[in-house]
Amino acid sequence: MTLLLLVVLAAGACGGGDGNGEGNGEGLSVMATTPVLAALVQGVTGDVASVASVIPAGTDPHAYQASARERSRMLQADLLVVNGADLEEGLLDVIDETAKDGVPVLVAMDAVEARRYPGGELDPHFWHDPEQAGAVVVAIGDRMADLDPVNAGGYREAAASFSVDLDRLTGEISAMFAALRPQRRLLVTNHDAYRYFTARFGFEVLGTILPGRSTDAVPSPAHLAGLAASMRERKVCAVFAEEEESTSLAEALAREVGPDVAVVTLFAGTLPDGYEDLLRENAACIAGTLARCG
């Protein structure tokens, strides 16, 4: 199969969907800052608690600002679950206000084996590694058990079961990549969000379009030219963007590299059918795309 056909088949084919992690429980009220965190909480609480995400699915968490209604819900919650490492840059003031108001706050990054960017800053994108997410799930189960002792056993049992499922998912995803040759295990992404993924599954991030960790960064022409040269040298055939971001820079980079380079979107904050499917579908997309590169 030619790379030009790959563009037709794969570009825009892997992202999209819906899902906001909203639950209908009537017990404790839990607000999570992102849809992924809401899904992890929901996997622990089931219908015992009411769970909602502050940031809507498909929205850049780095830039989102809470509405007055959302701020009120955070302040009235029994538990606020946040990502940490400044992922929710636009929510930091209300997170601080919520904590000062006495609402318990669980920081997901406190439970993970954190990775850092070259400059030393914490990388907040832990959820691309299911084993790291499993550690967060266990922390959620423990915190829910502390807040709701009557249902403590159920929370901890659900968290343990969910964590085992995520361990199995790690193996499932690893198997998807088993046939990929080492020289094909290269990613070029829109922004630097896949260090946990690459560490877990044996990939290398060749480069990112946006320099640094912020989605607001602006790449220089020299940065893009250097990345294009590296892609040509290493014969990289795809650029991976995320469904919540514009693909215009990715498309410009692909054109610079060559006419047969695909621009492929991945799920980031949108859950097609739950957190596990986010990882599963992204992995299948990456594996299928790179396998067709030759």
**5 has a pLDDT exceeding 60:** no
What pLDDT is recorded for position 216? 67
Asked which of 129, 144, 173 is the last residue of a domain, the reply is 173
pLDDT-derived band at 215 (thresholds 50, 70, 90) equals low
- Verify that 167 and 35 share a domain, yes or no: yes
Are 266 and 155 in contact by the 8 Å Cβ rule? The answer is no
pLDDT-derived band at 7 (thresholds 50, 70, 90) equals very low
Residue 23 lies in a domain: no
- Verify that 220 and 133 share a domain, yes or no: no
Q: For residue 210, what is the domain's CATH number? A: 3.40.50.1980
Question: How many CA atoms, within 13 angstroms, populate the side-chain half-sphere of residue 9?
Answer: 12
Residue 166 lies in a domain: yes
Residue 205 lies in a domain: yes
Nearest by Cα to 44 from 33, 60, 28 = 28
Torsion (CA) 282, 286, 291, 293 in degrees, nearest 10: 140
Asked which of 144, 173, 202 is the last residue of a domain, the reply is 173
Residue 209 lies in a domain: yes
Strand partners, 79: 30
- Verify that 97 and 71 share a domain, yes or no: yes
- Verify that 197 and 168 share a domain, yes or no: no
Are 23 and 42 in contact by the 8 Å Cβ rule? The answer is yes
Over the stretch 57-97, which tens digit does the pLDDT of each residue have? 988 898 899 999 999 999 999 999 999 999 999 999 999 99
Using CA atoms, how far apart are residues 2 and 294, in angstroms rounded to an integer?
Answer: 9
Which residues lie closer than 8 Å to 105 by C-beta, 6 or more apart? 79, 80, 81, 82, 95, 98, 99
Percent of the chain having pLDDT more than 90?
79
As a whole number, mean pLDDT of residues 187-208 equals 96
Question: How many CA atoms, within 13 angstroms, populate the side-chain half-sphere of residue 257?
Answer: 28
What pLDDT is recorded for position 119? 87
- Verify that 214 and 132 share a domain, yes or no: no
pLDDT-derived band at 183 (thresholds 50, 70, 90) equals very high
Residue 85 lies in a domain: yes
Over the stretch 119-161, which tens digit does the pLDDT of each residue have? 899 999 999 999 999 999 999 999 999 999 999 999 999 999 9
**How many domains does the chain divide into?**
2
Using CA atoms, how far apart are residues 75 and 79, in angstroms rounded to an integer?
Answer: 9
30 SS3 class:
strand
Nearest by Cα to 17 from 282, 249, 209 = 282
- Give the DSSP letter string of 56-73: PTTS-TTT----HHHHHH
Over the stretch 239-267, which tens digit does the pLDDT of each residue have? 999 987 889 999 999 999 999 899 999 99
Asked which of 173, 203, 220 is the last residue of a domain, the reply is 173
271 SS3 class:
coil
- What value does the mean pLDDT of the chain take? 90
- Verify that 83 and 167 share a domain, yes or no: yes
- Verify that 100 and 69 share a domain, yes or no: yes
- Verify that 165 and 47 share a domain, yes or no: yes
Flag whether the pTM goes above 0.85.
yes
Residue 222 lies in a domain: yes
Residue 239 lies in a domain: yes
Which residues lie closer than 8 Å to 191 by C-beta, 6 or more apart? 208, 209, 210, 213, 214, 215, 217, 242, 245
**11 has a pLDDT exceeding 50:** no
- Verify that 162 and 33 share a domain, yes or no: yes
- Verify that 10 and 99 share a domain, yes or no: no
Using CA atoms, how far apart are residues 12 and 17, in angstroms rounded to an integer?
Answer: 12
As a whole number, mean pLDDT of residues 209-215 equals 77
What pLDDT is recorded for position 4? 32
- Give the DSSP letter string of 205-270: EEEESS-SS-TT----HHHHHHHHHHHHHHT--EEEEETTS--HHHHHHHHHH-TT-EEEEE-SS-
Task: Annotate 109-135 with three-state secondary structure.
Answer: HHHCCCCECCCCCECCCHHHCHHHHHH
Residue 22 lies in a domain: no
pLDDT-derived band at 294 (thresholds 50, 70, 90) equals low
Structural domain harbouring 154: 29-173
- Verify that 58 and 162 share a domain, yes or no: yes
- Verify that 204 and 283 share a domain, yes or no: yes
